[in-house]
Structure 1
Amino acid sequence: MNFRFQHIEYLVALATIPLIVVLYFQLMYWKKNTVKKIGDAKLVQALIANYSPINFLLKFIFFALALAAVIVASANLQKPGARDNVQRKGVDVVIAMDVSKSMLAEDIKPNRLERARQLVYKLIDQLPNDRVGLVLFAGRAYLQMPLTTDHGAARMYIQQAGPEVVPTQGTIISEALRAGNSAFNSKERKFKSIVLITDGEDHDPQAVPLAQQLAEDGVMINSVGIGSAEGAPIMDPATNEYKKDENGNTVVSRLNETELQQLAGATKGIYVKLNDVDDAVNAITKQLSTIESTVLDDNAFRDYKSYFQWFLVIAFVFLMAEFFLPERKWKAA
């Protein structure tokens, strides 16, 4: 059986270990220079006669090992267990959600982004037999969550979605479509849909030609437009002021329905303007039901045994050893 880390991204924190090693050597260098500056070498040696450099080194090693064990524990090493004898039929749905700052416009209350979250929550609830993936995009797009039947994880990612997760601003729809398509099985020519949720503010000339290519691969794009034709100013959470252009005029963000309609039409999907969340969810799920379903095989059906507690025990042992080990030399009995 292959082992895996549930949160492998947490292992990045192991980079702190070399850093504290460098700090240790800097501390030893500082101590050595300080001893030289104090005065007579024999007197200094007499004053620190009971000090044990070896014990000090061991205390540092114990601390570093404890820290490493805690980091590995947080990543949660797992071993796959038995697979449940459960079969589900469904389709693969990638939700591509716009998190650009224009989604903070309040022409839809409380704002476009929050209404998009409400839509996704309800949509996921209506897709119990389908695998769901998540792409967050603005000026760039990121596959935030690969296809999975673990809908609880999807809800967690949606809750944390906001402009801060994609530093590059803008609304590059073609990037979102590419990222969404990368989540699908390239060998399949059906069972695939991208649900694109955006205000479509920035026109992307590459989006429609790309949608036509995706249609040939069996991808259906169902687009959801959020916003109004009249538009609304964009509140910048960093400054708590409305966004302004280079001339000092308040920027008004407007819904671009035309492009979203073209994307859906090119892939035999539908376009829905988000006025009522329930109506939009019903329209999308009805359209998704026209896609043939396939038997899904997903890690959500496999039970994993976790081993994080063993690393916490190891960390505790090393911390206790560091705590009780004195910096002084051991005295002979």
Structure 2
Amino acid sequence: MNWTQPAYLLLLLALPVMLLLTLMTERYWQRVRVLWSGQRRRLHWRSQLRLALVAALFMLLPLALAGLTVPALAPQSIQERMTLVIGLDVSKSMLAEDILESPAPPQLANRLNLGRSFINDLLSKLENERVGLFFFARNGIEMVPPTRDHGFIRYILRHTDMGRLTDSGSDLVAALTTADNMMVNDPCQGNEAVVLITDGEDTENTLEQLLSHLQSPNTKRRPVYSVRVGSDESVLIPIRKPGIPTIEGFYTDEQGLMLQTRASDSRLQHITAATQGANWHYRSDTSSAAQQLVDQILRHAQQADTAGASSLSWLDLSSLFLLFGLALYSLYMML
């Protein structure tokens, strides 16, 4: 039991005064009735009932104003029990400009900005899910722990200088490990899913190493959904500096050869197949991918969640007291 405005309980001190005034009024009208009709001096049953109604009314009003709340178990929806961790690839290959058009002008039309645009689109399709965000390249870094404050995630995406954050190399095992760590540290255990937004390149692991991680007994089985950005054709990775509209050159390897990158679904398909997830290829002209992804995640969660869950919440009884008081007042007026 809890009170939101306990100061209003002081109004209960006025209850004896109101009862005394009501009693004096009823006795006055009783004397009037005796004078004109010769009735007994004993209070009529209607007067006694009115006195009881006044007492009840002036008890209910302070209770309603004080905001009495009691603990109650409320059923949680699938969305409320869902924890979604989103990983955005920030490796150098994500700077490749093989996108049809900029997802949000005046941003550059590269894979990284397309991935950032997809996350914003995805957040707009979510309701009350807990969402976390991390970036990964050769290593993974947690940016936002799982939270229902989706606006804060948008803020991080908008104000993070992705160009300066990019790093050489891409490690899908590190991305999956970072997502696992974020889930383990999350106190709200429920339905869980991971979304990886990447071009699919993995420069740090062989296919056998990736499969070994997925099949490890220490890896918790949760669905991983991949969103691949970028074209199937090999392209160069441009070098740009802030404030300069032209390309200064292209990234090269240790031998001085220009680096080429090609988006691929091969590794991502192994990940989603092992975790019962799904793959998407997102382009700037794809409008329904985010909604399809959300529908798929919730559908899988609903199939896996057979028991349901409840959460402890506070039930406000103020409206109940007011309705009951209104009913008593109506009865008082009819007497």
TM-score by length of 2: 0.57
Cα pair 1:140 1:169 within 8 Å, conserved: no
User: Whole-Å Cα distance in 2 between the matches of residues 227 and 152 of structure 1?
Assistant: 27
Deviations 1:19-56 (A, max 9, x none): xxxxxxxxxxxxxxxxxxxxxxxxxxxxxxxxxxxxxx
Do 2:180 and 2:220's aligned partners in 1 also have CA atoms closer than 8 Å?
no
Distance 2:227 2:217 in 1: 18
C-alpha contact (below 8 Å) 1:138/1:170 kept by paired residues: yes
In the alignment, which of 76, 85, 88 is matched to residue 94 of structure 1?
85
Amino acid at match of 1:254: R
String of CA shifts for 1:88-122, please: whole Å, max 9, x gaps.
Answer: 62411100100112111011131101111111001
Q: Deviations over 1:243-301 (max 9, x none)?
A: 12234332111012100111111100001111344232122112101213666979xxx
Structure 1 segment 289-328 matched on structure 2, within 5 A: 289=298, 290-292=300-302
**Shift in CA distance, 93/215, structure 1 to aligned 2, threshold 3 Å:** farther
2-structure distance, mates of 1:295, 1:92: 14
Structure 1 residues 126 and 208: alpha-carbon distance in aligned structure 2, compared to 1, 3 A threshold: farther
* Shift in Å, 1:156: 1.3
Q: Relative to structure 1, is the Cα distance of residues 297 and 244 closer, same or farther in structure 2, using a 3 angstrom cutoff?
A: farther
Task: Kindly state the Cα deviation for residue 130 of structure 1 after the two structures are TM-superposed.
Answer: 0.7
Asked whether the equivalents of residues 192 and 220 of structure 1 are also in contact (C-alpha less than 8 Å), the reply is: yes
- Report the counterpart of residue 257 of structure 1 in structure 2: 265
Q: What is residue 177 of structure 1 aligned with on the other side?
A: 176
**Shift, 1:128, TM fit:** 1.3
Gap change, CA 1:161 and 1:181, over 3 Å in 2:
farther
| Contact kept in structure 2, 1:104 and 1:235, CA below 8 Å | yes
| Aligned Cα root-mean-square deviation (Å) | 3.1
Task: Label 1:210 to 1:157 Cα distance change in 2 as closer, same or farther (>3 A).
Answer: farther
After superposition, the Cα gap between the structure-2 partners of 1:297 and 1:125, relative to the gap in structure 1 and judged at 3 Å, is: farther
Contact 1:96 1:180 in 2 (8 A): yes
Q: Please give the alpha-carbon distance, in whole angstroms, between the structure 1 residues aligned to 2:88 and 2:180.
A: 14
The structural deviation recorded for 1:163 is 4.5
Verify the 8 A CA contact 1:190 1:217 in the aligned structure 2.
Answer: no
Aligned length: 215
Alignment match of 1:285 (pick from 281, 294, 298): 294
Query: What is the Cα deviation at residue 144 of structure 1?
Result: 0.8
Deviation at 1:190, TM superposition (A): 5.7
- Give the TM-score normalised by the residue count of structure 1: 0.58
Q: What is the percentage of aligned positions where both structures have the same residue?
A: 30
Unaligned runs of 5+ in 2: 1-68, 102-108, 242-246, 313-335
| Structure with the greater alpha carbon radius of gyration | 2
- Residue aligned with 2:288, SS: helix
